[in-house]
Amino acid sequence: MSTSNATTGPAAGGTAPVGGRQPSEHAIDAAIDAATRLLRLPTVRERYGEIADAAAREQLSYRAFLSELLLAECDDRQDRRAARRVHEAGFPRPKSLADFDFNANTAINPATINTLAGCGWVAKGQSLCLIGDSGTGKSHLLIGLGTAAAQAGHKVRYVLAAKLVNELVEAADERQLSRTIARYGRVELLCLDELGYMELDRRGAELLFQVLTEREEKTAVAIASNDSFSGWTKTFTDPRLCAAIVDRLTFGGNIIETGSSSYRLAHARSQRHPGGANSSRHPGAKSG
């Protein structure tokens, strides 16, 4: 007695079994639309026809067609989650590591950045300090690495140092400090930009210290600063508090010095003088 092979035949567009009742194309589409909306499968709803036609052309089995369809839904769902995490991180502008011009700043080692992009340091709760003058790529790297971490599944938050301190001061005044510090403590990677651009009073520095202490060796923090650690006494006017903050950020962490040559300035000059040697060079980073 011969049996039909359940793993062969067209995945879509085939005929119904002999004696079976073939529903109309309209009824099929309506049923799929209703079911995928109920089950919240937008990719299946949008792509089932395309994938079914491809499966028929390639003579895939019904199981192969189903796996292709479900994998497409999983891939798109993962992409949507990554995009949502990047959005929730609060980056001021999109920056990717792929757009960074390492030729424009030879002080930065591409291999080191590629290793950091793997996010092992985020998983370990380590720190990252990007130190260098304005225009050397600190903010680009900070946002790029933060974006990579968000895409890898980590919860990330970007904030300017001054804005964070102001938020902490307001929370303290409203007796919401513990809740605010706990909220930042739950973030897997805190990206703190423009640290050192303005002087912080003792209260602001102490509040920032509390956030860093809450995160120490548990969740990662990345900072970008335009001043070396020895110059942080201009930001944190209390020497002991300054030393404690530097210790929190550097112990077991990663330090990258981006140098002092601003290729953002060089790019701006080349734009004013198109005949210059750097007129066709990508600026690498437009801020930081």
Residue-wise pLDDT tens digits, 211-269: 888 887 789 999 999 888 888 888 887 888 888 888 888 888 899 998 876 656 655 55
Q: Do 119 and 142 share a domain, yes or no?
A: yes
Which among 87, 105, 133 is the end of a domain?
A: 87
Domain count, the chain: 2
3-state SS, residue 256? strand
Is the dihedral angle over the CA atoms 270, 274, 278, 284 positive or is it negative?
A: positive
pLDDT at 9: 45
Beta bridge partner(s), residue 221: 127, 190
Distance CA 9, CA 258 (A): 60
Q: Which of 47-56, 111-120, 200-209 has the highest mean pLDDT?
A: 111-120
pLDDT at 15: 44
Q: Do 107 and 218 share a domain, yes or no?
A: yes
Q: Do 254 and 136 share a domain, yes or no?
A: yes
277 against 266, higher pLDDT: 266
Q: Which of 5-9, 205-209, 215-219, 227-231 has the highest mean pLDDT?
A: 205-209
Q: pLDDT for 23-73, tens place per residue? A: 888 888 888 889 888 888 888 888 888 898 898 899 988 898 888 889 988
Q: Is 199 left (phi over 0), alpha (psi -120 to 50) or beta?
A: beta
pLDDT at 157: 97
Which residues have CB under 8 Å from 57's CB, separation 6+? none
Please check the confidence at residue 282 and state whether its pLDDT lies above 80: no
The helix (H) or strand (E) run that includes residue 138 is helix 138-151
Distance CA 201, CA 165 (A): 10
| Antiparallel, parallel or unpaired: β 156-160 and 127-132 | unpaired
45 within some domain = yes
- Quick one: average pLDDT of 196-213? 84
pLDDT at 90: 95
DSSP sequence for 57-69: HTT--HHHHHHHH
pLDDT band at 270 (very low <50, low <70, confident <90, very high): low
C-beta of residue 189 within 8 angstroms of C-beta of residue 116 = no
Q: Do 76 and 100 share a domain, yes or no?
A: no
Please check the confidence at residue 3 and state whether its pLDDT lies above 60: no
Q: Do 83 and 98 share a domain, yes or no?
A: no
Q: Do 122 and 244 share a domain, yes or no?
A: yes
- Can you give the three-state secondary structure of 81-144, one letter per residue? HHHHHHHHHCCCCCCCHHHCCHHHCCCCCHHHHHHHHCCHHHHCCCEEEEEECCCCCHHHHHHH
pLDDT at 215: 82
Distance CA 246, CA 68 (A): 51
- Rounded to 10 degrees, what is the CA torsion of 53, 54, 57, 62? -80
128 within some domain = yes
- Is the pTM here over 0.75, yes or no? no
Q: Do 163 and 212 share a domain, yes or no?
A: yes
Task: Look at the block and give the residue holding tokens 């004013």.
Answer: 272
Distance CA 82, CA 260 (A): 34
pLDDT at 269: 57
pLDDT at 280: 35
Nearest partner of 191 among 122, 237, 136, judged by Cα: 122
pLDDT at 75: 84
Q: Could you tell me the residue range of the domain that residue 54 belongs to? A: 25-87
4 within some domain = no
126 within some domain = yes
C-beta of residue 130 within 8 angstroms of C-beta of residue 225 = yes
pLDDT at 265: 61
Which CATH number belongs to the domain containing residue 206 in this structure?
Answer: 3.40.50.300
| Antiparallel, parallel or unpaired: β 254-259 and 127-132 | parallel
Q: Which amino acid is at 275?
A: G
9 within some domain = no
Q: Do 83 and 140 share a domain, yes or no?
A: no
Question: Which CA distances in Å does 85 have to 146, 152, 154, 261, 263?
Answer: 10, 9, 8, 33, 31
Q: Do 203 and 238 share a domain, yes or no?
A: yes
Q: What is the mean pLDDT of the chain?
A: 82
pLDDT at 261: 67
C-alpha radius of gyration, the chain, whole number: 27
The helix (H) or strand (E) run that includes residue 159 is strand 156-160
CB atoms within 10 A of CB 71: 12
Distance CA 264, CA 286 (A): 6
pLDDT at 272: 59
